[in-house]
Structure 1
Amino acid sequence: MIPVIGYEGRRVAVLGLGRSGLAAARALAAGGAEPLCWDDSAEGRARAEAEGFAVGDLTRAGALDDVAALIVSPGIPHLYPAPNPAVAAAFAADVPVDNDIGLFFRSVARGDHDRPPRVIAVTGSNGKSTTAALIHHVLREAGIGSQLAGNIGRGVLDIDPPGDGDVVVLELSSYQTELARALTPDIAVFTNLSPDHLDRHAGMGGYFAAKRRLFAEGGPDRAIVGVDEPEGRYLANQLSQGRGDDRVIRLSVERRIAGPGWSVIGKGGFLAEWRKGRQIAAIDLRGVAGLPGVHNHQNACAAYAATRALGLSPRAIEAAFRNFEGLPHRSQLVATRGGVRYVNDSKATNVDAAAKALQAFERIRWIAGGLGKEGGVASLAPFLGSVAKAYLIGHSARDFAVQLTSVPVEICETMEVAVARAAAEAQPGETVLLAPAAASFDQYADFEKRGEDFVARVAALPPV
């Protein structure tokens, strides 16, 4: 646990009592603060009470009179589409609002060591979980103490205090970066940007601004930036002091980046590192089973750049890449039956992530659908060349069927029917791919539960 500093003997309110909220309450108490907890659900309040925390409705009159700060869990809106009533009350009472990420950066000790620990923070629209996990894996394989936390792994305040030379790897969503009052990673990574969570951020500008805060608030020692979108090119330009400034490492899977700076390129299945206008290292990614497809090659470029920035050798990084098994629900090979591969990419909750998955495999039986996002799947038309047929599930199945005019479609409604139909029609050499291009909340609690259902339905198929 990372005890929170700066609130000794003071009352601090905690709103939202899921994983990060309860961890924040524990860490505040460990630092000498007095947590006052609230959750809109009775179950959340009961969990806090069971741990001995005071519970009180933060919207009642006078509830915030003696509160030093309000700590808000990531899923709770504080501005758009409308502030949570407790957050609005804090604004009205001039109570500072923060989150567990802000508490972590103000409390993690990095000065009292012979070799100070470092923090690598990864954000972006797609690939940040795999990138963060891959960085963590490479560090562990190299014998460097590493902990993985944030939007993946443990809550940031729930980790152990890092020791000499250790590294904390954080995956940070826009919900986490937009509110944190302290953001001071040593290395910050921006993978890419595509439309997502637009209602929460009032459009693409607000969404990008939330991501950009990771680089603007504290000024990392080194920034690693994907430049295949305009926002990434803008960010890299804003951070760089000139063409040879190697504090900014540019990433691309679309083109070679000219000039004397530091870049990592992933094209044609190969990763290449360029510095001062010449190539200094390369890795063949085509045979790395845990990193299939161009989107995972982009993740590999980001992880390579981050670990190279820490001083690891290309050979050590490549060796670690080759035994990386990937993450559940992200291009996860779950079975091969009768020459047909079954791949779980339930984390592909938007069209950009689904497009990347569709480009990673040939001859696809595609399971898609769920709670569709703004714009549906019409923009996926250029990426359907390998799709033999789409099997559509969930709330938006019929809307998706209308939009997918270039491939055969079948409305299956449920995962059970979709897996059974795809398996019955798949031929040897094909891939049954779950890449929903939609949120899961119409039928499942989260994308993990959706992916687990896919895996279970595949396991239950009759023998071939």
Structure 2
Amino acid sequence: MIPVPGFENARVAILGLGRSGLSAARALRQGGAIPVCWDDNPEARDRAADQGFEVFDLREGGAFDDIARLIVSPGIPHLYPAPNPVVVAAQAAGVPVDNDIGLFFRALAHAGWEAHDTLPRVVAVTGSNGKSTTSALIHHVLEASGRAAQLAGNIGRGVLDIDPPGDGGVVVLELSSYQTELARALTPDVAVFTNLSPDHLDRHGGMGGYFAAKRRLFAEGGPDRAVVGVDEPEGRFLAGQLSEGPGDDRVIRVSVAGKLGGPGWHVFARKGFLSEYRKGRQAGSIDLREIKGLPGAHNHQNACAAYAVCRTLGLAPRVIEQAFHSFAGLPHRSQLIAEAGGVAYVNDSKATNVDSAAKALSAFRNIRWICGGLQKDGGLEGLAPGLANVAKAYVIGREAAGFALGLPGIEAEVCTEMSTAVERAMAEAQPGETVLLAPAAASFDQYDNFEQRGVDFTQNVLARLPQA
């Protein structure tokens, strides 16, 4: 655990007692603060009380009279679509609002860095799609190369639950927009922006607010190096803002849309080959086509970003390439769960929006596509580039019929339930085809989360395969 200093004997309020909230409470208590905890869920309050924390209703009048700071969990809105009443009360009382990510960077700023021969480094990864895979891939490469590394934030452990980084250690953080928008301290050594597509727009008041939340990681933090995907206008804008000129190698531009040129530092992938260029000369290359844990152009973008980060941390191209080959991928993200009878079965339940599903569709050919769920704003038009690869769609979800109507030009069968969709897709799949779960929708109409949906798909597939 990383103790949070600076609040000795002060009362610090915690709103939201999930993983990050309870982790923040423990780290604050270890640093000498007095956590005051609240959650609307009585079971969450009971868990906090069982750990010896004071539980107090922060909605009561005068609750913030003696509070030094309010720590808010990521899922709780503080501005859009409407601020939580507890946040409003804290702001009215002049109490600063922060989150566990801000506390993490605050704690690191107080650490005894003079004791290290090689300073620890923090890599922070954000973006709409691919940030989990990119973060996990960076962590995997570092560990495979013998570097001490920890993975935390929106993936892995709670950011304050990790061990204080040791000499030369690297902390890899995956950060969502919910985390970057509120943190009062953001000071990574290397920051990564993968890409941007519409998501969480109600939470951020539109696309501009969503981009602004991501941009804070760079504008507030001033990282030594920035790795920026430039295949969208926002990424090109961000790279331009951070760079002092064409040759400024503090900004590493990443692309899978085409070759990048100029005197700067570039990493791009074309036709399955990753290339690194510095000062107009090639400095490294990797053939990504046979790396099973990184299928498709979207994963090649993740590979480019991870490669760029690892190069800034001093790893050689061949070391990175070797580690890429041993990367198994993440559950529910283009995860190959089985191959039988010439048919591949792939779980990409994390494809919860149109953009990520379109990328999954573009990664495979001859697809039996399981899709549907709680549809997000913006419609399904963005799926068009990948629909040519779909042999047939099998639509699940409570609104499956309406979802199917949004898929013109392809055969779509309304299945509603996962078990029916898997049964039908497996019965009709031919050798050389892929049965792909890439829902292009949230899971909450039928499941608690996308992980549960992916597990249901996997169990249904494995139950129907011949037993060896």
Whether the TM-score (by the shorter chain) exceeds 0.5 is: yes
Counterpart CA distance in 1 for 2:151 and 2:85 is: 33
Counterpart CA distance in 1 for 2:328 and 2:218 is: 30
Q: Which residue of 1 aligns with 2:63?
A: 63
Q: Is the 8 A contact 1:110 1:116 kept in 2?
A: no
- Counterpart among 239, 252, 257 of residue 255 in structure 2: 252
Counterpart CA distance in 2 for 1:172 and 1:40 is: 25
Superposed displacement of residue 398, structure 1: 1.8
Matched, 1:130 2:151: no
Q: Which residue of 2 aligns with 1:167?
A: 170
Counterpart CA distance in 2 for 1:238 and 1:378 is: 31
Superposed displacement of residue 445, structure 1: 0.8
Q: Which residue of 1 aligns with 2:366?
A: 363
Superposed displacement of residue 375, structure 1: 2.2
Q: Which residue of 2 aligns with 1:9?
A: 9
- Give the unaligned 5+ runs of structure 2: none
Counterpart CA distance in 1 for 2:319 and 2:77 is: 42
Q: Is the 8 A contact 1:244 1:260 kept in 2?
A: yes
Q: Which residue of 1 aligns with 2:27?
A: 27
What is the aligned-residue RMSD (CA, Å)? 0.9
- What is the CA deviation profile of residues 148-206 of structure 1, one whole-angstrom value per residue up to 9, with x for unaligned ones? 00000000000001100000000000000000000000000000000000000011000
Superposed displacement of residue 71, structure 1: 0.2
Q: Is the 8 A contact 2:358 2:382 kept in 1?
A: no
- What is the CA deviation profile of residues 205-233 of structure 1, one whole-angstrom value per residue up to 9, with x for unaligned ones? 00000000000002000000000000000
Q: Which residue of 1 aligns with 2:76?
A: 76
Superposed displacement of residue 116, structure 1: 1.0
Per the alignment, in what secondary structure is the counterpart of residue 47 of structure 1? Answer: helix
Alignment of 1:54-453 (within 5 A): 54-108=54-108, 109=111, 111-112=113-114, 113-453=116-456
Superposed displacement of residue 462, structure 1: 5.1
Q: Is the 8 A contact 1:376 1:400 kept in 2?
A: no
Counterpart CA distance in 2 for 1:28 and 1:381 is: 49
Superposed displacement of residue 353, structure 1: 0.3
Q: Is the 8 A contact 1:110 1:117 kept in 2?
A: no
Q: Is the 8 A contact 1:381 1:406 kept in 2?
A: no
- Give the unaligned 5+ runs of structure 1: none
Counterpart CA distance in 1 for 2:175 and 2:11 is: 27
Superposed displacement of residue 376, structure 1: 2.5
Aligned AA (1:55): V
Q: Is the 8 A contact 1:372 1:395 kept in 2?
A: no
Q: Which residue of 2 aligns with 1:38?
A: 38
- What is the CA deviation profile of residues 440-459 of structure 1, one whole-angstrom value per residue up to 9, with x for unaligned ones? 11111111111011111111
Counterpart CA distance in 1 for 2:265 and 2:448 is: 42
Per the alignment, in what secondary structure is the counterpart of residue 3 of structure 1? Answer: coil
Q: Is the 8 A contact 1:376 1:399 kept in 2?
A: no
Superposed displacement of residue 54, structure 1: 0.2
Counterpart CA distance in 2 for 1:328 and 1:382 is: 25
Which range moves more in the overlay, 107-116 or 143-152? 107-116
Question: How many percent of aligned residue pairs carry the same amino acid?
Answer: 72
Counterpart CA distance in 2 for 1:238 and 1:416 is: 49
Counterpart CA distance in 2 for 1:308 and 1:266 is: 16
Q: Is the 8 A contact 2:201 2:207 kept in 1?
A: yes
Moved over 4 A (4+): none
- What is the CA deviation profile of residues 52-82 of structure 1, one whole-angstrom value per residue up to 9, with x for unaligned ones? 0000110101111100000000000000000
Q: Is the 8 A contact 2:117 2:167 kept in 1?
A: yes
Per the alignment, in what secondary structure is the counterpart of residue 286 of structure 2? Answer: strand
Q: Is the 8 A contact 2:362 2:385 kept in 1?
A: no
Superposed displacement of residue 396, structure 1: 3.3
Counterpart CA distance in 1 for 2:150 and 2:283 is: 30
Superposed displacement of residue 337, structure 1: 2.0
- What is the CA deviation profile of residues 107-134 of structure 1, one whole-angstrom value per residue up to 9, with x for unaligned ones? 0236232211000000000000000000
Aligned AA (1:223): A
Relative to the length of structure 1, the TM-score reads 0.99
Counterpart CA distance in 1 for 2:159 and 2:416 is: 38
Residues 459 and 148 (structure 1 numbering): CA distance in 2 closer, same or farther, change over 3 Å? same
